[in-house]
Amino acid sequence: MNLIATSKHGNCDRCSEKDTAIRKRKKENLCLNCCKIEDTQKQVEKANLRNRVRGLYGHQVSEGKEDMASRANLMADLDVLASRIVRLREADENGNLACFC
Residue ranges of the domains in the chain?
A: 8-90
**Mind spelling out the 3-state secondary structure of 58-87?**
CCCCCCCCHHHHHHHHHHHHHHHHHHHHHH
Position 73 scores a pLDDT of 82
Rounded average pLDDT per 10-residue block, the chain, 101 residues: 74 88 88 91 90 64 61 86 87 77 62
pTM of the shown model:
0.48
The pLDDT score that the predictor gives to residue 39 is 92
d(C-alpha 40, C-alpha 22), whole Å? 17
Instruction: Name the strand (E) or helix (H) holding 49.
Output: helix 32-55
Is residue 49 within 8 A of residue 40, CB to CB? The reply is no
Q: Which residues lie below 8 Å from residue 53, measured CB to CB, with a gap of 6+? A: 68, 72
